[in-house]
Structure 1
Amino acid sequence: MIEILAWLVIVPLAASLLYLGAELLLGLFPLDTASGPLSPPPRILLLVPAHDEAAGVGATVMALRTVVPAADILVIADNCRDDTAAAARAAGARVAERDDPTRRGKGYAMAFGRDQVAADPPDVVIIVDADCRLSAGSAERLAAQAIARDRPIQAAYLMTANGDASPLVAVSNFAVLIKNVVRARGLVRLGGGGLLFGTGMAFPWPLFRTLPLATSDAVEDLGLGLWLARQGIAVDLDERSQVTSPAAALASSRAQRSRWEHGFLLTASRQGLPLLAGGIAAASRHRAALGAHLLVPPLALLMLLALTGLAVAGAAGAASGHWLPFLILAAAFTFAVTLLLVAWWRHARRDLALAALLRIPLYMMWKIPIYIGFFTRRQTGWNRTRRPGEED
C-alpha cells in the first residue's frame, strides 16, 4: 500500500518536472524570427484597454507615439472612476468610453474597441496594456509577421524593476522571464505554437474580427490562445519584439497574481487533459504540447509540490525499503532545477544576483497563500495592480 501511494505521488510530479525540463532545454537559445518590412507599411491600431489608469495612461500614449508615430492609438476607458479618458485624450490618443458595470473584464473592453474601428478597420491590431512600453521597431515587426504568416504574433513580455527593488521582486521578474521567454521558446519548438500573454499581442484584422473577445474570463489571454489552438491556429513568438511593464511591489501584486494563477489552475484542471488526449488522438503536436504545458503547475507551486513529494516518497522508501519512486522523482527534480540554473546563468545573472537567487524559497513561501486561496477565496475578476509609486 505504501509503495502504491509513493507511485501515485511521484508519477504526475515527475512527468511535470520532465516536461518543464524539456521546455527549458529547448528554450535556452533564441528562435529564428527574421522578418522584413512590408511595402506599403500596414495600418496599425494600438488598442489599449484601461481601467482607472489616469495616473499613467498619458505617459503610455506618449511613449507609444514616440516609437510608433504612424500608428492609430485607441484607448478604451473601461468602467473608469477617474480621469483616464481625459488623460488619454490630452496625450493625443483616440478614446472610447465604456460604462457597463455588469459586464466587467478586459475581454469586454477589447471587444468594445473592436466595434469602434469595424467600419474602417486597420490591417493589424496590437493589444498593449495601459502600463506597458513597446520597444522601438516592435510594432512594425509584429505587424509584418502577423500579415505575412496570417496568424497571431506574441512579443516577448518582461517585467522591469528599478535599482532599489527588493530581491524578491527580482526573483519574481526572473520567474516571468522563465515563463514568457524561455518556456515560451520551448513550447514553440515542441508544439509549433505558443500562448498569448495579454499584452504585445498582434492580430491580422481578418482574424481579430472573428475572435470571441467579449467574455469575463479572468485569464482571457490564456483562453483566447486555447480557442485559437482548437481552430488549428498557432500563436508565433517574436522575441525580438519586446513589451515591458514595471514590476509592482510584491504586496501590491498579490491580487493580480492570484487572479492569473487561479485562472490558470482552473483552466488547466478543465482543459489540460482533454487537450492533451485530443491532440494525441488527432496527431496534433500543437494541441498535445499545449495540453502538456497546462498540466505543469506554476513554477513556485510545482517546486513546493515536488519537495513535498520527495518527502513523502522518502518516508515511504524508509518504511518499505522501496526507493525507486524517490530516486525517479529526485532525478526529475534535479533535471528541472539544473536547467533553471542554466537558464538563470544564460539570461538573468546580470539582473538577479546569486544572493537574490538564494531567496527563491522565501518567494515560494510568499506564494503559498495564493495557492491556498484557490480553494478558499478564488480570485476571478479583472483587477488593477497598484503601479510603482502607488503603494503608499
Structure 2
Amino acid sequence: MLVLFCWVIAIPPFVALMIFSLETLLGATPLKAKSYPGAMPTTRILIPAHNEAGTIETTLARLTSIVADDVRLLVVADNCSDLTAKIVRQAGHEVIERFDSDNRGKGFALAFGIDHLRPNPPACVIIFDADCESDAASIAALAKASVAGNRVVQASYILQPDLAASPKVQISNFAFWIKNVVRQRGGHRLGSAAVLVGTGMAFPWNVIANAPLATSEIVEDLALSVHLTRSGHPPTYVQHALVKSVAATEQATLDQRTRWETGFLAIARSFGFRALWEGIATGNRKLFQLGLHLLVPPLALLLMLSLTITVAVGVGASITGQWGAFIALGLALAVAMAAVLINWMIAGRSWLGVQALLSLPLYLLWKIPVYLGIVKREEVVWKRTERASNLLEDRAE
C-alpha cells in the first residue's frame, strides 16, 4: 500500500516536470526570424492606464516614433485620480476616461476601449501596458502578422535585466523570462498555442471585437488564451517582436507574483483538465497542449512541491525498499533543473547573476507565505505594480 501511495503522489510532479523540461529544452535557442512584408495595416495601440501619471509621459515619448497615419494610440484612463488623462492630451494623443468603482480592473478598461473603437474600427488592435516600451519594427511585425494571418499574436515580453537588483528580484525576473520567452519558444516548436501575457498582444478586429474582455479575472490574459484557443483562434508567438518594462521593486515583485500565481492556479484548476478533455474530444490539438501547459505550476512552486514530494517518496522508499518512484521523480527533477541551468548558461545570465542564483533556496523560503495564502484562499485583488522607475511621487492636480 505504501508503494502505491508513493507512486500516486510522485506521478503529478513527474508529469509536470517532464512537460516543463520539454518546453524549456526546446525553447533554449531562438526561433528563426520571419519577415512580414506588405503595407502596415491600420492599427490602434490600446493602453489601459490606472493612475500612471508618473510613467505615462515617458511611455508616450518612447512610442512617438511608432505613431504614424496608420498607427495611433488610444489611452483608457481607468478610474484615475491623478493627471494621467491630462498628460496624454497634452502629448497630443487620444484618451478616454472611465469611472466605474464597481467594475475595476484591466479587462473592463479594455472592453471600454474596444467599444469606443467600434464606430470606426482599425484592422488591428495591439494591447500595450502603460509602463512598457517597444519599437516600430516590433509593432509592425505584430500588426502585419496578426492581420495577414487573421490571428492573435503575442510578442516577447521581458523585464529589463538589472543585475544590481536584489537576488529575489533577479530570480523573479529570470523566472519571468523562462515563462514568457523560453517556454513560449518551446511551445511554438511543439505547435502549441502561445500564452497571452497581458501586453504586446495583437488582435485582428474581427477577433477582438467579440472577445470576452470585461472580466474581473486578475490574469485576464490567461483566461483569454483559453477562450481563444477553444474558439478556434489560438494565439501565435512572434519572438522577434519585443516589448519590455522595468522590473518591479522587491515588495512589488512579491505582490505581483502573488497576484499572477494565484490567478494562474485558479485558471489551471478551472480549465486545465477541461482543456485536456475537450482537446481530445474535439480533436483540438492546440487546446490539448494548452491544457498540458496549465498542468505546470509556476517555476518556484514546481520546484518546491517536487523537492518536498521527492523527499517524502524517498522516506517511503527507505521503508519499503521499493525505489522506483523515487528514482523516476528524482530523474525528472534533475532533468528540469538541468534545463533551467542550460537556459541560464545560454542567455539567462543577463537576468540572473551567479550570487543571486545561489540564493535560490532563500527565494523559495521567501515564497512560502505566498503559497500559504493561496492555500488559505486569501483574496487577491488587482492593483498597479510599483516599478523602480515610478517610485517618484505622482503629480497632483
Give the corresponding residue for 2:120. Answer: 120
Give the corresponding residue for 1:299. Answer: 299
1:61 lines up with 2:26 in the alignment:
no
5 Å-filtered alignment, 1:30-109, equals 30-39=30-39, 41-70=40-69, 71-109=71-109
1:212 lines up with 2:212 in the alignment:
yes
Give the corresponding residue for 2:395. Answer: none
Q: Displacement, 1:146?
A: 0.3
1:324 lines up with 2:324 in the alignment:
yes
**Distance (whole Å) between structure 2 residues aligned to residue 29 and residue 253 of structure 1:** 27
Distance 1:376 1:320, change over 3 A: same
**Distance (whole Å) between structure 2 residues aligned to residue 269 and residue 193 of structure 1:** 19
| 4+ residue segments displaced more than 4 Å | 389-392
Q: Is the 8 A contact 2:173 2:351 kept in 1?
A: no
Aligned-partner residue type, residue 57 of structure 1? I
What's the TM-score, normalizing by structure 2? 0.95
5 Å-filtered alignment, 1:351-390, equals 351-390=351-390
Give the corresponding residue for 2:283. Answer: 283
Q: Is the 8 A contact 1:49 1:110 kept in 2?
A: yes
Aligned-partner residue type, residue 59 of structure 2? T
Q: Displacement, 1:118?
A: 1.1
Q: Displacement, 1:257?
A: 1.6
Q: Displacement, 1:90?
A: 1.8
Structure 2, unaligned runs of 5 or more: 393-397
SS of corresponding position for 2:169: helix
Q: Is the 8 A contact 1:200 1:243 kept in 2?
A: yes
Q: Is the 8 A contact 2:46 2:73 kept in 1?
A: yes
**Distance (whole Å) between structure 1 residues aligned to residue 163 and residue 130 of structure 2:** 23
Distance 1:162 1:350, change over 3 A: closer
Aligned-partner residue type, residue 44 of structure 1? T
1:20 lines up with 2:2 in the alignment:
no
Structure 1, unaligned runs of 5 or more: none
Q: Displacement, 1:359?
A: 1.5
Number of residue pairs matched?
A: 391
Distance 1:171 1:57, change over 3 A: same
1:348 lines up with 2:365 in the alignment:
no
CA-to-aligned-CA distance 1:33-80 (integer Å, 9 cap, x gap): 5132322x2111110000111111111111111234442111100011
Q: Is the 8 A contact 1:314 1:326 kept in 2?
A: yes
1:133 lines up with 2:130 in the alignment:
no
**Distance (whole Å) between structure 2 residues aligned to residue 375 and residue 320 of structure 1:** 31
Give the corresponding residue for 1:223. Answer: 223
Q: Displacement, 1:163?
A: 5.3
Q: Displacement, 1:88?
A: 1.6
SS of corresponding position for 2:373: helix
**Distance (whole Å) between structure 1 residues aligned to residue 78 and residue 356 of structure 2:** 38
**Distance (whole Å) between structure 1 residues aligned to residue 287 and residue 163 of structure 2:** 41
**Distance (whole Å) between structure 2 residues aligned to residue 184 and residue 378 of structure 1:** 30
**Distance (whole Å) between structure 1 residues aligned to residue 389 and residue 158 of structure 2:** 19
Identity %: 43
Q: Displacement, 1:121?
A: 1.2
SS of corresponding position for 1:241: strand
CA-to-aligned-CA distance 1:83-137 (integer Å, 9 cap, x gap): 1111222222211000000111111100100111111111111011010001341
Give the corresponding residue for 1:167. Answer: 167
What's the TM-score, normalizing by structure 1? 0.96
Q: Is the 8 A contact 1:35 1:144 kept in 2?
A: no
CA-to-aligned-CA distance 1:137-166 (integer Å, 9 cap, x gap): 111110000011100110000001445322
Distance 1:391 1:314, change over 3 A: farther
Q: Is the 8 A contact 1:51 1:79 kept in 2?
A: yes
